[in-house]
């Protein structure tokens, strides 16, 4: 009976409760919808800003540097995409998540001490960005991605690679970890190579992962490619032969510069010791120095042709003009200038062929100091070549001191002035080009740049013919001869200046030459600095390098041997 009464009461109140719940739900929905409408109308901008602030980010779109090529299209510097690892210290978990996913495994993969890594991240908890490792290898990047730690992110960057390594290091240079040029062409043409990064807005999830790109604000502009005048084949040959000789004589350093006589382009430029731009530089900044451009030396007898050029043009000399070198020495004040033997009366051609100090000094003493200074400057000494390399030295000329007889005499055989190997190569280019001084260029030229007349063409040709005599079997440059080709050049050997005086035990050996004489194509300078041992002359140390490099270079450039050229002409 009681059960029946309870069931009847329950049935009577059940519809009322149902409609009460429905009404409450409707009211709640109405309140929420009203709130949504209210917020959408009155706080829309604020809420949109707050949402974007948590999910929308602006990102830089990295772009690669331009590629550097040699004149034949061989890459000398290329950019490759790599990943860099960074963390958000404010969200990165410093405690172990598990035995597999944690900071211990991260430290192991990075090769770091876990305590130091944890301390480093904890010290920057207030920051939102901290690099852990730049420029990861693909294998390491893949292993790190598998950790999938919260607050750990990857950033796409570009790393520079140099296929030629140390062979072209001093020309191409290198970049720092931020992809900015630091040495060589990378620095000189950084404004052309670096390009311009872009910007975009992206949507990210709560773990910082990009869900989609929203808007490209600035499109990236890749760096511009450039083609150098360097021929990598010639660069390799020059590097190989110079290294062989520097090692053989245990020299402190060496440089070689090869120019194209027809255009003024640099075909090869080598320095030793060198470095590998793909690896951390070992041995300090000495290896980074581009000695052919930054280091200056007294050039020794290699500048004697310039004195002869002035004598031919302004003093009425001819190659057959006789010069009296008796008795084999010359006193200027208390300074004695001497030849190895008394050569007596010799002509101007023999003065060059035998490299007579007395003969060239007598010629210079008859000249005006202003004339001497002017001719050296016309050949390009005392000022930078305009190549554009960072740190290029201008060298030094005695200037007003040439009013003194001793200064004129010592200048005539290359003492009392300082030049770079590049300046000396440019001077010999003038002789080989028929008296024109072309701008020196590191970029490939489709046609020669306008030159400046330095010597009459007949004068330049006379000097070239006289310099060919230096390579006669009994000449000082016989070791520079190239089979099948007529070659002209001049040796030089100077004592090094140490603490204001000349060190009789330390020397710089030179050979500067032009090939072939019949149709000049190459002007080359070889410098071996501070060789050890009893043999140190330019004719014995530098000349053989010239011979081997020129022989290969002429064939690679398809320059016909003189015998073939004469046969074709007939």
Q: What is the pLDDT of residues 1-56, one digit of tens each?
A: 555 555 555 555 567 777 778 888 888 888 888 777 766 666 656 655 555 555 66
Q: What are phi and psi of 116, to 5 degrees?
A: -65, -40
- The answer to whether the beta carbons of residues 216 and 519 sit under 8 Å apart is no
CA–CA gap between residue 266 and residue 522 (Å, rounded) = 10
Condensed to tens digits (0 to 9), the pLDDT of residues 500-511 reads 778 888 999 999
Tokens standing for 486? 């007529």
- Residue 206's pLDDT band, with cuts at 50, 70 and 90, is low
* Of the candidate ranges 43-47, 318-322, 348-352, the one whose mean pLDDT is the lowest: 43-47
Could you confirm whether 255 is annotated as catalytic?
A: no
What is the C-alpha separation between 176 and 174, in angstroms, rounded? 7
Query: Is residue 131 predicted with pLDDT exceeding 60?
Result: yes
**Which pLDDT tens digit goes with each residue over 395-451?**
999 988 999 999 999 999 999 999 999 999 999 999 999 999 999 999 998 887 888
Predicted local confidence at residue 99, as pLDDT: 38
pTM value? 0.84
CATH topology of domain 59-115+131-227: Penicillin-binding protein 2a (Domain 2) (3.90.1310)
Exposure string (b/e) for 70-95, b if CB count within 10 Å is 16 or more?
A: bbeebebbbbeebbbbbbbbeebeee
The overall average pLDDT reported for the chain is 86
Domain boundaries, the chain: 59-115+131-227, 232-278+289-569
**Nearest alpha-carbon partner for 260 in 22, 60, 84, 514:** 514
Query: Domain 232-278+289-569 belongs to what architecture?
Result: 3-Layer(aba) Sandwich (3.40)
CB neighbours of 234 closer than 8 A, spacing ≥ 6? 258, 267, 268, 549, 552, 553, 556, 557
Residue 496's φ and ψ, nearest 5 degrees, are -75, 145
Q: Which of 79, 301, 361, 537 is catalytic?
A: 301
CA 39 to chain centre: 62
Q: How far apart are the first and last CA of the chain?
A: 142
The DSSP call for residue 441 is: B
């Amino acid at each position: 009976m009681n059960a029946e009464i309870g069931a009847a009461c329950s049935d009577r109140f059940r519809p009322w409760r149902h409609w009460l719940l429905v009404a409450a739900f409707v009211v709640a929905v109405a309140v929420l919808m009203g709130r949504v409408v209210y917020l959408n109308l009155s706080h829309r901008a604020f809420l949109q800003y707050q949402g974007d602030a948590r999910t929308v980010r602006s990102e830089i779109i990295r772009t690669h540097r331009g590629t550097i090529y040699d004149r034949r299209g061989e890459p000398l510097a290329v950019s490759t995409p790599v990943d860099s690892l960074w963390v958000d210290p404010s969200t990165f978990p410093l405690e172990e998540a598990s035995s597999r996913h944690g900071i211990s495994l991260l430290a192991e993969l990075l090769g770091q001490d876990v305590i130091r890594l944890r301390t480093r991240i904890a010290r920057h908890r207030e920051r939102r960005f901290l690099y852990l490792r730049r420029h990861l290898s693909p294998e390491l990047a893949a292993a790190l991605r598998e950790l999938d730690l919260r607050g750990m992110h990857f950033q796409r960057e570009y790393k520079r690679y140099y296929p030629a390594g140390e062979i072209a290091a001093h020309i191409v240079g290198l970049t720092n970890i931020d992809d900015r040029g630091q040495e060589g062409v990378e620095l000189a043409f950084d404004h052309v190579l670096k390009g311009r990064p872009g910007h975009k807005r992206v949507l990210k999830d709560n773990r910082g992962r990009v869900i989609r790109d929203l808007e490209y604000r600035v499109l990236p502009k890749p760096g511009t490619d450039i083609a150098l005048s360097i021929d990598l084949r010639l660069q390799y040959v020059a590097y190989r032969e110079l290294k062989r000789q520097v090692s053989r004589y245990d020299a402190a350093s060496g440089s070689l510069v090869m120019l194209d006589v027809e255009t003024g382009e640099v075909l090869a430029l080598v320095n030793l010791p060198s470095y590998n731009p793909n690896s951390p530089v070992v041995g300090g900044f000495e290896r980074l120095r581009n000695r052919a451009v930054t280091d200056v030396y007294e050039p020794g007898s290699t500048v004697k042709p310039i004195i002869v050029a002035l004598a031919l043009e302004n003093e009425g000399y001819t190659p057959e003009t006789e010069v009296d070198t008796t008795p084999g020495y010359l006193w200027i004040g208390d300074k004695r200038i001497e030849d190895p033997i008394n050569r007596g009366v010799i002509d101007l051609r023999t003065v060059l062929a035998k490299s007579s100090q007395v003969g060239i000094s007598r010629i210079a003493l008859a000249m005006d100091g202003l004339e001497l200074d002017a001719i050296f400057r016309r050949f390009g000494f005392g000022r930078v070549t305009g190549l554009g390399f960072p740190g290029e030295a201008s060298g030094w000329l005695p200037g007003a001191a040439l009013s003194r007889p001793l200064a004129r005499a010592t200048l005539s055989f290359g003492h009392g002035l300082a030049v770079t190997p590049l300046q000396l190569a440019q001077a010999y280019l003038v002789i080989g080009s028929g008296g024109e001084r072309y701008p020196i260029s590191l970029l490939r030229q489709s046609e020669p740049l306008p030159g400046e007349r330095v010597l009459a063409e007949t004068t330049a040709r006379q000097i070239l013919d006289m310099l060919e005599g230096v390579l006669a079997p009994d000449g000082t440059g016989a070791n520079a001869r190239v089979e099948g080709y007529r070659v002209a050049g001049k040796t030089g050997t100077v004592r090094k200046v140490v603490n204001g005086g000349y060190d009789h035990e330390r020397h710089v050996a030179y050979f500067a030459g032009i090939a072939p004489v019949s149709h000049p194509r190459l002007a080359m300078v070889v410098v071996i600095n501070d060789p050890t041992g009893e043999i140190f002359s330019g004719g014995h140390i530098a000349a053989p390098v010239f011979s081997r490099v020129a022989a290969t270079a002429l064939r690679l450039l398809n320059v016909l041997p003189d015998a073939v050229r004469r046969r074709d002409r007939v």
